[in-house]
Amino acid sequence: MHKIVILGPPGSGKGTQAEFLSKALNIPTISTGAIFRDHMARKTDLGKEVDAVMRAGKLVDNEIVNKLVQERLAKDDLQVGYILDGYPRKVEQAQFLSEYRDVSYAIYINSRDTIVMKRLAARRHCDKCGAKFNFVTNPPKVESVCDECGGELVIRADSTAEVISERLASYHFFNDPVVKFYKRRGVLVEINGELSIDDVWQEIKNKLSL
Ligand code: AMP
């Protein structure tokens, strides 16, 4: 059973690599950020509760995220394994997870701040179908128009320059101890996230012997 955690700064491409892994291993990806965005779009109680925190680039309280992940991991579509993307983000979350699940690999896609800042500022998604683009790494055929459905490409509310710096500062403060946590447990697999999308995927496949 593959119980995988994907770590790395925002903009390191971990969401994309999580999708590749999910297809290659035929296991679902659980993205806490995507779950929260879905709640916000549907204006659920949880969505309303996390809206301001997310827009400010801050982290949602541990209790809320831990409960959400624990409930999701209890569902029965995860017999073969799963990939956690965006969780754990703090060492307390990693400790919480370790109390009821072990981790086979913590894949750490590392990238310098200067590189991820450029990539994040170039991110867009379609406000109709959700397809993701990046003006640097994955540009649409026509500027600001979705290749898939012709919808308008928009920037995520938490991807403005100010919020990006905030998210990166918070990332280092909280995530670096999570990396150390998994290193000590001997499950950390470090990947150079500054390579092209294909080369990062190649490195992951090599290191995991896929
Ligand atoms: P992401 O799509 O992973 O960048 O997540 C977007 C936002 O969701 C983050 O900036 C946080 O506000 C919130 N979030 C997602 N995962 C977590 C987590 N593990 N702990 C706290 N907040 C989270």
Task: Report pLDDT digits (tens) over 24-66.
Answer: 999 999 999 999 999 999 999 999 999 999 888 789 999 999 9
| pLDDT > 80? residue 185 | yes
* Candidate from 54, 58, 116, 165 with most ligand 1 atoms within 8 A of CB, to mutate: 54
Instruction: Give residue 58's pLDDT.
Output: 84
For ligand 1, atom 10, the nearest C-alpha belongs to 57
Lowest mean pLDDT among 77-86, 141-150, 157-166, 183-192: 157-166
| Distance between Cα 40 and ligand 1 center (Å) | 13
Q: Report CA(204)–ligand 1 centroid distance (Å).
A: 23
Residue 209's pLDDT is what? 94
pLDDT at 137: 81
In short, whether 53's Cβ falls inside 6 Å of ligand 1 is yes
Q: What is the pLDDT of residue 146?
A: 97
Active site residues: 14, 89, 123, 156, 167
Q: Is the CB of 107 under 6 A from ligand 1?
A: no
Q: Is the CB of 195 under 6 A from ligand 1?
A: no
Ligand 1 neighbour 86 (Cβ under 6 A):
yes
pLDDT of residue 162: 84
Q: Which of 30, 35, 36 to mutate to test the pocket of ligand 1 (most atoms within 8 A of CB)?
A: 36
Nearest CA to ligand 1 atom 7: 33
Residue 167 pLDDT level (bands cut at 50, 70, 90) = confident
Q: How far is the CA of 80 from the centre of ligand 1 (A)?
A: 25
Q: Which pTM value belongs to this model?
A: 0.87
Residue 50 CA to ligand 1 centre (angstroms): 10
pLDDT digits (tens, 9 = 90+) for 75-128: 988 989 999 999 999 999 999 999 999 999 999 999 999 999 988 889 999 999
For residue 36 and ligand 1, the question of a CB distance below 6 A is answered with yes
Per-residue pLDDT at 204: 98
The closest of 42, 41, 58, 60 to 50, measured between CA atoms, is 60
